[in-house]
């Protein structure tokens, strides 16, 4: 089943990577379109395109050529099978699996007129009951938080919660779970609404941004045939699993810690159970099926491999940006398709009907009458019990209906807060009314809210004189419309409020203030985007518009969505660090925000988390996957803290601790084009960090030289780089100094080291570490040789830059590490020089061989005579002409050198213009000043460019003029000589 592109997928300009027919689904790799994988299932439903909305709001197919499958088709093929199984006395289970936003909940619940499988199954179950005679039907649904919310992080309940236990006869069950009798679909629907509210409250308590939940709806359906004295009983499980996108492990991201054993345990164990059952189905011997490893698989044991007819819906996204998740889901579902189920019908007769005739005939008539009377009494008791329980349930329905009526009246009378959850199914479920007077938010009190950084008294809401204000308590975090507040603030209709790190609410004002505006746009991502914009982070800052076609850059938009997704997680991790006294500060950063490769192309951006120890000033940079992994482990430790347990762990097991590491501070680009003309480079260039800001100044010389290290002068310059082809070329890189290093300005005890790689060297070369010196002197020289210059090497010199990376060191152990690295680099360098020497000797042998061949050819008398005849005649004139040509070439090379030096300055000006960012404050004067400064810089850039080109033209014109004058002079001299003769 496929959903149409969602908000993030639309923003990213996603392409469809899925194709389907009636039974197979194919997916192609967006990075390699020729790589296609096909999976075969019982049914494959297409709902990405080819539909329209009818007058009732139902999505229907556009015509006979459309492949679109709507909710009706899905119910006919899947939901009807669940109903038929239930009527026949079989257990039936329907499981929806897939990543968040792929269509799981739409398939199971639906929205508006497009109702999903669950409501239609429940409604159709009761439809035939009304017209049946001589039969009694009993439907029980279950009501309790523990059946609706199975926490993926710890799968443990808070004190007082219900426990999963095991019974010899009924298997695993939830102890104390309330069975509620129902005689209509409306009652089950009301139970589902209650379960959603319970699920939302529990999700808030467990932090929805870091923990999702499964929804399990279980109904017991019992049919009592009064005439035949037969009972049929079946259990219907309708399961909406949590999003599968967090199932993948981040252990491969270089993290020293693995995910906790209970992280996302439900889905992981479910996959393990399915794999084991699939192996059993193909005849393999499996010793153990891990049903007991999670709460979910315990409760669904009979559905997965026991007495149940089970259907799995695998919901996938067709977007290319979801390729990895979609492929994982298809593989997961394919494994499940190999599992075979053994289903038994559950039906029971009275004791008398189940005895064989011989046993019945052996009983005395009086005993038989007693048994019949007992059986009749048992049936009447069942009927009375059912009617009593149903009456009790009706009373509860009436009370709940009164509560719902009261809530509707309050919604039309008072302003209120509407919860906004990361899971769209849980948004808008909870309403907190602000009646006349004052409301104080208290943990587990007035609104039963708990989250990171929510204190017992967090904020005061006041409703007086027709206006509502919010006042944060001391040091409590309150954000309104993306901006943190500290003073009393008046609320307007549709204001966005965030309490603590991630508890988001939409303020609905007084009835007179309300409009017909659609509230769907105010989702969780809207809140986080607004928060990011207030912090100065936006899509525009990332450079999302592609200059070629004006369309958004999909990769950049994906980075933006990652950023807003991680914002609340980072806030929670920082808060946990503070409460556990770990002294860590966590910040979201964009890696390669303004960085480019050796050819000047932008590097791929990605989100990282910068971690700083506020006591030691040590810094780490965690990848997104590593941070998410650590966040799970932090939550586990934090839960022990909340439960009052000992939270001491060793450093090796502490998710807040890491060994000191090297930090990439920035890079400098030294363009090598001058080397193609054998001109010396003397650079004083900026080392720019990931955001394009200056981190240090690098002094570096790159000098063309001879094989013995003698530096070339101006006379050695060439005008055409093609002259280097096939020749040996040598140059030396001399790194002099690194000035004004911010890394050392912040903490003087740190160190730095420079690393660079030339052309195709297999390893990066590192300089020696320098410690506690903000203006570090390097003074290192490395000699490089290319024995035979190729076109590829020439292109490298003309189009690439040497990238010098600045690395920050912290801690003595790192010095040893980098010294070891330098030793390795030096050994590689020695091997490289030996290889060059060997190639040089080989080339010398070739020259000797070539000379001998020419000598043998010259032994011919005719060739020797020709050589002796022609050589003396032109020798003097040739020398004179060569001297003049060399003079002109030298002057032209000097002109080119000056031009390239000027162009280098122009290029630096252009890069400064490119990396200049407008002020983050919404200040018109600051913006005007920034515009004026940019205009002056642009004018200077244009003037310098015009001046450089004009000077080159003048120099070339002067050289051409001299050459012409010399040519005329030579012509006159030759003419005079002829006249004299």
Q: What is the mean pLDDT of residues 664-668?
A: 95
Q: What band does 952 get if pLDDT is binned at 50, 70 and 90? A: confident
Among 227-236, 360-369, 804-813, name the most confident range. 804-813
What pLDDT digit, counting tens, does each position of 852-872 carry? 556 555 544 443 333 333 333
What pLDDT digit, counting tens, does each position of 196-214 carry? 666 565 555 444 443 456 7
What pLDDT digit, counting tens, does each position of 329-356 carry? 888 888 777 665 555 555 444 433 444 4
Q: What band does 438 get if pLDDT is binned at 50, 70 and 90? A: confident
Q: Does 66 show up as a binding residue in the annotation?
A: no
CA distance to 40, 275, 878, 886, 979, per residue, from 874 (Å): 84, 89, 6, 18, 21
Of 960 and 840, the one with more pLDDT = 960
**Whole-angstrom distance, CA of residue 548 vs CA of residue 556:** 15
What DSSP string describes 821-858? Answer: HHHHHHHHHHHHHHHHHHHHHHHHHHHHHHHHHHHHHT
Residue 443 · residue 451 · CB < 8 Å: no
Q: Does 99 show up as a binding residue in the annotation?
A: yes
Q: What is the mean pLDDT of residues 488-504?
A: 89
Q: What band does 247 get if pLDDT is binned at 50, 70 and 90? A: very low
Q: Does 105 show up as a binding residue in the annotation?
A: yes
What pLDDT digit, counting tens, does each position of 138-151 carry? 555 544 333 333 33
Predicted local distance difference test score (pLDDT) of residue 198:
62
Does pLDDT of 627 surpass 80?
yes
The residues, any chain, with a CB within 8 Å of residue 410's CB and separated by 6 or more, are 416, 433, 435
- Which residues partner with 621 through β-bridges? 610
Nearest to 576 by CA among 503, 663, 484, 639: 639
Q: What is the mean pLDDT of residues 500-526?
A: 86
Predicted local distance difference test score (pLDDT) of residue 186:
73
Q: What band does 609 get if pLDDT is binned at 50, 70 and 90? A: very high
Q: Is 156 helix (H, G, I), strand (E, B) or coil?
A: coil
Of 15 and 777, the one with more pLDDT = 777
Where would I find the H helices in 352-447? Answer: 357-361, 365-411
Q: What band does 71 get if pLDDT is binned at 50, 70 and 90? A: confident
Q: Does 104 show up as a binding residue in the annotation?
A: yes
CA distance to 685, 692, 733, 757, per residue, from 682 (Å): 10, 22, 10, 19
CA 654 to chain centre: 24
Where would I find the H helices in 538-656? Answer: 554-579, 624-642
Q: 979 exposed, middle or buried (CB, 10 Å; 0-12, 13-18, 19+)?
A: exposed
**Whole-angstrom distance, CA of residue 824 vs CA of residue 809:** 18
**Whole-angstrom distance, CA of residue 799 vs CA of residue 791:** 12
Q: Is 27 helix (H, G, I), strand (E, B) or coil?
A: strand
pTM exceeding the 0.75 threshold for the entire prediction? no
What pLDDT digit, counting tens, does each position of 930-942 carry? 777 777 777 777 7
Predicted local distance difference test score (pLDDT) of residue 381:
58
Q: Does 213 show up as a binding residue in the annotation?
A: no
Q: Does 98 show up as a binding residue in the annotation?
A: yes
- Which residues partner with 702 through β-bridges? 681, 733
What pLDDT digit, counting tens, does each position of 572-608 carry? 899 899 889 999 999 999 998 888 899 888 888 889 9
Q: Does 100 show up as a binding residue in the annotation?
A: yes
Q: What band does 254 get if pLDDT is binned at 50, 70 and 90? A: low
Predicted local distance difference test score (pLDDT) of residue 319:
83
Predicted local distance difference test score (pLDDT) of residue 797:
93
**What share of the chain has pLDDT > 90, as a percent?**
19
CA dihedral for 615, 621, 625, 626, sign (positive or negative): negative
Per the prediction, the chain carries an average pLDDT of 75
Q: Does 103 show up as a binding residue in the annotation?
A: yes
Phi, psi of 916, rounded to the nearest 5 degrees: -75, 130
């Amino acid at each position: 089943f496929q959903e149409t592109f969602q908000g993030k997928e639309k923003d990213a300009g996603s392409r469809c990577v899925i194709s389907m027919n009636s039974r197979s689904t194919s997916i192609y790799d967006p990075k390699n379109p020729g790589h296609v994988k096909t999976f075969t299932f019982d049914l494959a439903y297409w709902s990405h395109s080819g539909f329209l909305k009818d007058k009732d709001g139902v999505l229907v197919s556009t015509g006979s050529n459309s492949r679109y499958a709507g909710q009706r088709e899905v119910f006919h093929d899947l939901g009807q099978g669940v109903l038929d199984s239930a009527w026949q006395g079989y257990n039936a289970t329907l499981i929806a699996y897939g990543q968040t936003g792929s269509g799981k909940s739409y398939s199971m619940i639906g929205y508006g007129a497009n109702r999903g499988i669950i409501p239609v199954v429940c409604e159709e179950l009761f439809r035939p009951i009304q017209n049946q005679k001589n039969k009694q039907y009993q439907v029980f649904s279950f009501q309790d938080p523990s059946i609706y919310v199975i926490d993926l992080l710890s799968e443990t309940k808070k004190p007082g919660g219900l426990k999963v236990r095991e019974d010899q006869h009924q298997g695993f069950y939830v102890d104390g779970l309330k069975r509620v009798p129902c005689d209509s679909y409306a009652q089950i629907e009301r139970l589902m609404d209650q379960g959603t509210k319970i699920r939302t409250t529990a999700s808030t308590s467990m932090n929805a941004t870091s923990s999702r939940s499964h929804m399990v709806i279980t109904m017991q359906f019992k049919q009592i045939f009064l005439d035949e004295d037969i009972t049929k009983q079946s259990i219907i499980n309708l399961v909406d699993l949590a999003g599968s996108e967090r199932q993948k492990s981040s252990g491969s991201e270089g993290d020293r810690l693995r995910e906790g054993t209970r992280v996302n345990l439900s889905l992981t164990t479910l996959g393990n159970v399915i794999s084991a059952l699939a192996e059993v189905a193909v005849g393999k011997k499996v010793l153990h099926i891990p049903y007991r490893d999670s709460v979910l698989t315990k409760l669904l044991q009979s559905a997965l491999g026991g007495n149940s007819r089970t259907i799995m819906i695998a919901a996938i996204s067709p977007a290319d940006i979801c390729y990895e998740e979609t492929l994982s889901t298809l593989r997961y579902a394919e494994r499940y398709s190999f599992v075979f189920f053994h289903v038994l019908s559950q039906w029971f007769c009275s004791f008398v009907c189940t005895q064989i005739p011989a046993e019945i005939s052996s009983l005395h008539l009086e005993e038989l009458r007693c048994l019949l009377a007992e059986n009749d009494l048992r049936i009447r008791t069942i009927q009375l019990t059912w009617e009593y329980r149903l009456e009790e349930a009706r009373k509860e329905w009436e009370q709940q209906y009164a509560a719902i009526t009261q809530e509707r009246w309050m919604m039309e009378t008072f302003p209120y807060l509407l919860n906004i959850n990361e899971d769209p199914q849980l948004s808008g479920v909870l309403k907190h009314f602000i009646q006349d007077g004052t409301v104080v938010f208290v943990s587990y009190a007035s609104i039963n809210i708990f989250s990171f950084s929510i204190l017992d008294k967090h904020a005061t809401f006041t409703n007086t004189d027709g206006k509502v204000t919010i006042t944060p308590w001391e040091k409590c975090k309150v954000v309104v419309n993306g901006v943190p507040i500290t003073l009393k603030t008046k609320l307007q209709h549709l204001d966005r409020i965030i309490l603590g790190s991630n508890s988001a609410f939409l303020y609905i004002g007084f009835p007179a203030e309300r409009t017909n505006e659609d509230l769907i746009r105010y989702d969780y991502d809207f809140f986080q985007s607004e928060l990011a914009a207030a912090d100065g982070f936006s899509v525009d800052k990332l450079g999302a518009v592609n200059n070629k076609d004006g369309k958004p850059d999909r990769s950049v938009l994906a980075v933006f969505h990652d950023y807003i997704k991680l914002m609340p997680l980072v806030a929670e991790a920082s808060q946990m660090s503070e409460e556990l006294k770990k002294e860590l500060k966590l910040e979201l950063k964009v890696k390669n925000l303004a960085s480019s490769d050796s050819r000047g192309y932008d590097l791929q951006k990605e989100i990282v988390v910068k971690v700083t120890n506020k006591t030691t000033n040590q810094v780490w940079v965690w990848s997104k996957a590593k941070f998410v992994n650590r966040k799970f482990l932090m939550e586990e430790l934090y839960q022990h803290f909340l439960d009052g347990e000992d939270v001491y762990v060793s450093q090796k097991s502490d998710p807040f601790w890491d060994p000191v590491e090297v930090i990439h501070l920035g890079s400098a680009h030294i363009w090598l084009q001058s080397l193609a003309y054998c001109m010396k480079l003397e650079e004083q260039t900026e080392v720019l960090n990931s955001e394009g800001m200056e981190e240090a100044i690098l002094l570096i010389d790159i000098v063309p030289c001879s094989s013995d290290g003698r530096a070339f002068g101006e006379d050695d310059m060439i005008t055409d780089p093609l002259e280097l082809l096939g020749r040996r070329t040598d140059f030396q890189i001399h790194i002099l100094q690194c000035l004004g290093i911010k890394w050392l300005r912040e903490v003087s005890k740190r160190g730095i080291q420079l690393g660079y790689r030339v052309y195709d060297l297999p390893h990066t070369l590192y300089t020696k570490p320098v410690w506690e010196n903000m203006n570090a002197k390097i003074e290192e020289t490395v000699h490089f040789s290319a024995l035979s210059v190729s076109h590829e090497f020439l292109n490298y010199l003309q189009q690439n830059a040497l990238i010098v990376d600045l690395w920050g060191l912290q801690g003595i152990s790192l010095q040893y590490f980098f010294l070891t690295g330098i030793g390795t680099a030096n050994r590689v360098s020695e091997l490289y020089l030996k290889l060059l020497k060997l190639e040089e000797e080989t080339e010398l042998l070739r020259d000797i061989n070539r000379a001998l061949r020419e000598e043998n050819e010259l032994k011919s008398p005719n060739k020797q005579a020709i050589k002796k005849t022609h050589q003396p005649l032109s020798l003097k004139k040739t020398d004179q002409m060569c001297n003049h040509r060399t003079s002109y070439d030298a002057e032209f090379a000097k002109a080119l050198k000056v031009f390239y030096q000027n162009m280098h300055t122009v290029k630096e000006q252009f890069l400064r213009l490119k990396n200049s960012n407008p002020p983050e404050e919404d200040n018109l004067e600051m913006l005007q000043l920034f515009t004026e400064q940019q205009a002056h810089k642009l004018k200077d850039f244009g003037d310098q460019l015009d001046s450089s080109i004009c000077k080159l033209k003048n120099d070339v014109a002067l050289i051409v003029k001299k050459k012409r004058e010399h040519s005329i002079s030579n012509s006159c001299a030759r003419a005079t000589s002829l006249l004299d003769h």
